[in-house]
Chains A and B, each alone.
Chain A
Amino acid sequence: MSAVVVDNPEQGISARKAIAPSRGKRPWTFYVLASLFTAYVLALYGPMFCIYILSFQDIRGGLVFPMKGRSLHWFIDLFTQVRTGDVKGSFDRSIKLAVIVTIITVVISFLAGLGFRRRFKGDSIVFYMMIGSLVAPGLVLGLGTGLLFQALGLNPAWYSSALGAQLSWTLPFGVLVMFAVMSRFNNAWDEAARDLGASRWQAIRLVMIPVLAPGLVAVALFGFTLSYDEFARTLQTAGSLNTLPLEIWSMTLNVTSPSLYALGTVTTIVSFVVIGVSLGSIVLIQKKRGAQKIKG
């Protein structure tokens, strides 16, 4: 963020006319764009809230408004009925897989971020391989991974082939976030630590990781949520046991009751908790730092 604050009184006239003046009358474009923004946010969240509300209907409930009664019927239905599939098992698997993916993504992205600080011979090959992994159609990659396992005589499973397939999706995001984070890290801090006698590992552990902590939390957020919701790459690689998005997918094709919405509500709550914890801890780290700065 490189906002330049103009608070020189002599520049007051131009500042008042500037595109985002800090005072004075707002231009008409402000109202047009503010309406556009509001409409966008409403369209972004509105539909989601519709299904959360509809998931709390009672047994007479359907897929559309009006609301028929209020109960937790469809949530109980979701976890007890065989008809809706193995929701609990796939939920467990998805969480476990997401945790494993998160840990691996944070470690590998951090190391890759350190590696990409300086140009080295052949770094572009790695970089463009990563971009390729990001833009390649997920279903095609998943099929290739599935066929590869078949050819090697291995059984695809959520903890092997699906884990790898998901990493091919989370790692490019993780490394791109690390690029953004690293661009704000001053290499002189690392060098100063080394000059003062810190070993390479000590410099990483005592200087880099604390400084980069908020960025690493962001990488973890990407790793967890992208894995937890990943679908296209997992479809052909998960083997016989489903992850949660695969379960949701089969439900969208078979189930026409609000239990589909109930599952949507449950999985979104999990996502919101993860997002809240991540953003909260980033804010907390920054606040603690601010407090230390004042004390020091």
Chain B
Amino acid sequence: MMPSSSSTSRSSLTGWLYVSPLVGVLVPFFLAPILVVLAASFFGSDGFGGLTPGFTLANYVEVLHSALTLKLYLATIKFTVLTWIFTLLIGFFVAYFLVFHVRNQLLAIGLFLLCTVPFWTSNIIRMISWIPLLGKEGLINAALISTGVIRQPLEVLLFSDLAVVIAYVHQLTIFMIVPIFNAMARIDKRLIEAAIDAGASRFDILRLIVVPMAKSGIALGSIFVVSIVMGDFFVVKVMSGGGSASVVSAFYEDVGVLQYPTAAASAVLLTLVLVAIVSLILRSVDIRREITR
């Protein structure tokens, strides 16, 4: 049935009517703030936290010329890549275990929920909960000393880059598990049986069926993990003990000393990098079709 042009425009109107409250929130609280930050990045500063309207590229020149910027981006990319690798590996195999190795489906859903519960609790609390374990007098050091593996407590466990990555992986693996689990659960088990009958090994099945069919889940999870790590500042600030910084934690310091224009310029650059990465991932998967399927 071909819809006439008038019914198309009417159904468009109904659609817009339904999403208008959503748009009514996103325009003032997402679009406008982004545009404000974009505008502020071109403004001058009076040095006391005030913005002088105008158009200058001085903020960008300052950000791009600073040797610190490169260091911050390298640190951010290091944390992002490490977190991405660990969350992907753990998330993939946890989802794989739940979908293909747990025989009772109800048990699989129960174990899946067990993984998701911490997602609904406070991130900050989950982060600081590593202190009693990783600290200089923490459980891990105590255990290592009492078993005689080390004599002096390891200092690198807490307030280090290692602690930052541990906290990220702890918080974000769930963002990999959920979409990958959903993608894997949709794989028709008969397909795998057919592959076994045709003589495929377990590894072949993983490589040729499961990974390609879970790709959309991997892409979705990667978007979450990458955007959260790149936009984070409090894990870096607390878990590195001030020893490391990322782009956004430097942004936070800038805002703290009211350096709005340079902070805004750095935020715009970060957003551009993020948009580039996310759209690169989105090119490999039609996210909307995947979600609504």
Decide: B274 and A137 in contact? CB cutoff 8 A: yes
Given A19-B205, A140-B251, A267-B125: A145 in contact with B29 (beta carbons within 8 A): yes
Cα A121 to Cα B278 with chains together (Å): 24
Residues in B neighbouring A222, C-beta threshold 8 A: 120
**Which of A43, A44, A263, A271 is most buried by chain B, counting CB atoms within 10 A of its CB?**
A44
**Contact residue among B18, B117, B170 (Cβ-Cβ distance under 8 Å from A275):** B117
Residues in A neighbouring B218, C-beta threshold 8 A: none
Q: How far is the CB of B213 from chain A (nearest CB, A)?
A: 12
Cα A222 to Cα B116 with chains together (Å): 12
A214 within 8 A of B: no
Decide: B271 and A3 in contact? CB cutoff 8 A: no
- Count the A-B residue pairs with Cβ separation under 8 angstroms: how many? 311
Residues in B neighbouring A260, C-beta threshold 8 A: 128
Q: How far is the CB of A241 from chain B (nearest CB, A)?
A: 18
Residues in A neighbouring B121, C-beta threshold 8 A: 48, 225, 229, 267-268, 271-272
Q: Could you tell me the dominant secondary structure of chain B's interface residues? A: helix
Given A6-B193, A22-B103, A36-B97: A140 in contact with B132 (beta carbons within 8 A): no
Looking at A76-84, A125-133, A190-198, A288-296, the stretch in contact with chain B turns out to be: A125-133
Q: How far is the CB of A255 from chain B (nearest CB, A)?
A: 11
Decide: A107 and B21 in contact? CB cutoff 8 A: yes
Decide: B197 and A248 in contact? CB cutoff 8 A: no
**Contact residue among A30, A44, A50, A180 (Cβ-Cβ distance under 8 Å from B170):** A44
Cα A131 to Cα B223 with chains together (Å): 10
Decide: A165 and B122 in contact? CB cutoff 8 A: no
Looking across the interface, which residue of chain B has its beta carbon closest to that of A165?
Answer: B29
Cα A260 to Cα B132 with chains together (Å): 12
Q: How far is the CB of A55 from chain B (nearest CB, A)?
A: 11
Residues in A neighbouring B173, C-beta threshold 8 A: 40
Looking across the interface, which residue of chain B has its beta carbon closest to that of A267?
Answer: B122
Give residues of chain A (200-232) contacting chain B, Cβ–Cβ below 8 Å.
221-222, 225, 228-229, 231-232
**Contact residue among B135, B193, B232, B278 (Cβ-Cβ distance under 8 Å from A135):** B278
Decide: B32 and A129 in contact? CB cutoff 8 A: no
Decide: A65 and B139 in contact? CB cutoff 8 A: yes
**Contact residue among B189, B205, B227, B260 (Cβ-Cβ distance under 8 Å from A3):** B189
A122 within 8 A of B: yes
Number of interface residues of A (CB under 8 A): 109
**Contact residue among A15, A132, A143, A248 (Cβ-Cβ distance under 8 Å from B125):** A248
Q: How far is the CB of B135 from chain A (nearest CB, A)?
A: 5
CB-CB contacts of B4-27 with A at 8 A, as 1s and 0s?
A: 000011011011111101110110
**Contact residue among A30, A122, A165, A248 (Cβ-Cβ distance under 8 Å from B16):** A122
Decide: B122 and A143 in contact? CB cutoff 8 A: no
Given A33-B101, A120-B15: A171 in contact with B231 (beta carbons within 8 A): no
Known: A27-B202, A118-B11, A137-B267. 19 other contacts (CB 8 A): A14-B196, A47-B129, A50-B133, A51-B131, A63-B132, A104-B25, A108-B21, A111-B19, A115-B18, A136-B271, A140-B248, A144-B33, A148-B28, A171-B25, A179-B292, A180-B291, A222-B120, A228-B122, A267-B125
Provide a sorted-by-A list of 14 A–B residue pairs whose CB atoms are within 8 angstroms.
A34-B101, A36-B97, A46-B133, A48-B121, A104-B25, A116-B292, A127-B288, A139-B255, A143-B255, A145-B29, A147-B40, A167-B29, A232-B234, A268-B121
